[in-house]
Amino acid sequence: MSEFNKEAFYKAVYDLVKQIPSGFVLTYGTIALLCGRPQNSRLVGKAMSQAPQEVFAYRVVNHIGRTVPDWAEQRVLLEAEEVTFKENGCVDLKKHIWRGYSTK
């Protein structure tokens, strides 16, 4: 039976986010996909909301590069990591999307 533990998913998300190098970002959908739940992108966000400070939650953005609805510090932290932001407030995913899990 395919029992899915939220705890395992959360741990996988945290472990993955912790591995993100500076200057790179990842989308919730990508994280959810790598954790084996492409449809649970919301759970990734929910996990991040409960994530401890030892997790680089600020390196996680949504699929257009938009930051968290109510987290002004995130942009500052990303800018400090040489992450470029566009005038519309979106991160340049084309340059900063992390591919460490699958280098081609």
Partner DNA sequence: CAGTTGACTTGCA
Partner DNA sequence: GTGCAAGCCAACT
The site for DNA (CB under 7 A) is made up of 4, 6, 27-29, 32, 38-46, 48-49, 51, 57-58, 62-66, 68-71, 74, 88, 90, 93
Contacts of 2 (CB under 8 A, 6+ apart): none
CB of 65 to DNA, least distance (A): 6
Write out the E strands in the chain.
26-27, 60-61
CB of 23 to DNA, least distance (A): 18
d(CA 2, CA 23): 37
Smaller CB separation from DNA, 34 or 68: 68
